[in-house]
Amino acid sequence: MSRVAYVNGSYRPMAEACVNIEDRGYQFADGVYEVIAVHGGGPVDEEGHLARLERSLAELQIAPPMSMGALRLVMRQVARRNHVENGMIYLQITRGVAPRNHAFPEHSLSSCVITAKRMPTPDPEHVSKGVAVIIIPDIRWRRRDIKSISLLPNCLAKQQAADAGAYEAWMMDENGLITEGAASNAWIVTNDGELVTREADFSILNGITRLALIRLAAEQEILFSERPFSREEAVSAREAFISSSTSLIKPVTAIDGEPVAGGRVGPVCRKLIAAYAAHMAGQRAAEG
């Protein structure tokens, strides 16, 4: 089956889908994106993703290419045309095409590209045995709350993790506190049973999965604190895990080659994995 992409107003076969070489996304990474999981044929937490998209666009003064309602329709159309039952939608909006000059052009039309692809069901071993992470310095800019397409430090971090045989890299700020993963949010459960993730200020991306988990943890009456945690706290935690739209929730059972909590998947993480699966299934039931 050949894939289809939406590019600035038309649906095109993937091989023919292209953007102008003077697109500011290509030249300056002057754009934002969203990755939305598709479960049972429908987008997961669509409202949250679109709200974050609107916020990212506003922070960078990029005009939305269409209304959020229209975007919703196009995203569904792309998922349908690519026969995606379970997978992801990728959406990228840039400031558009203009002669290369750092300052914003006076007139440019935002560019919009949307693709969708199927994804295999998550590796069951990732859930039963957990994944490994490494900890590295966070070398990114100071506005990590904006979901910018400028992802070079994240790519370097993921490659470092891959080279070390790990699934993810957790990044650490200059105070020795974990910010987040290269493509996920970072969580621990302390020895007092407190679920902890860093507060969503400019230092991290406010994950949509993160927000869903905070709500689900409250429903499950899990003791929760939004604060930074140190490398030391992480390595001696009772549990650790990551969250993202595509990785979902994966227990972390090793940090920098050392087992976390004896290398076992903990009960809080298991509870949240089950609650999140029910949350995704519930959205489909509500929609259709």
| Active-site annotation, residues | 147
| Residue among 151 and 164 whose Cβ is closer to ligand PLP | 151
Q: Which is nearer to ligand PLP, 206 or 236 (CB)?
A: 206
Residues near 124 by Cβ (< 8 Å), separated by ≥ 6? none
Cα–Cα distance measured from residue 112 to residue 39, given in angstroms and rounded to the nearest whole number = 23
How far is the C-alpha of 207 from the C-alpha of 186, rounded, in Å?
A: 10
Q: Which is nearer to ligand PLP, 96 or 251 (CB)?
A: 251
**Cβ 243 to ligand PLP shortest distance, Å:** 6
CB of 3 to ligand PLP, least distance (A): 21
Q: How far is the CB of 178 from ligand PLP (least distance, A)?
A: 12
- Where does this chain bind ligand PLP (CB under 6 A)? 35, 154, 180, 183-185, 205, 207-210, 243-245
| Strand partners for 12 | 5
- Cβ atoms of 182 and 157 within 8 Å: the answer is yes
Three-point CA angle 13, 16, 19, nearest 5°? 120
Nearer to ligand PLP, 98 or 114 (CB): 114
User: By Cβ distance, which residue is nearest to ligand PLP?
Assistant: 207
Amino acid at residue number 62? I
CB atoms within 10 A of CB 21: 9
d(C-alpha 55, C-alpha 205), whole Å: 12
Select 243 or 253, whichever has its Cβ closest to ligand PLP.
243
d(C-alpha 180, C-alpha 187), whole Å: 8
CB distance 24 to 94 below 8 Å = yes
First to last CA, the chain: 26
The least distance separating ligand PLP from the CB of residue 246, rounded to whole angstroms, comes to 7
CB of 154 to ligand PLP, least distance (A): 6
Q: Are 231 and 172 in contact (CB under 8 A)?
A: yes
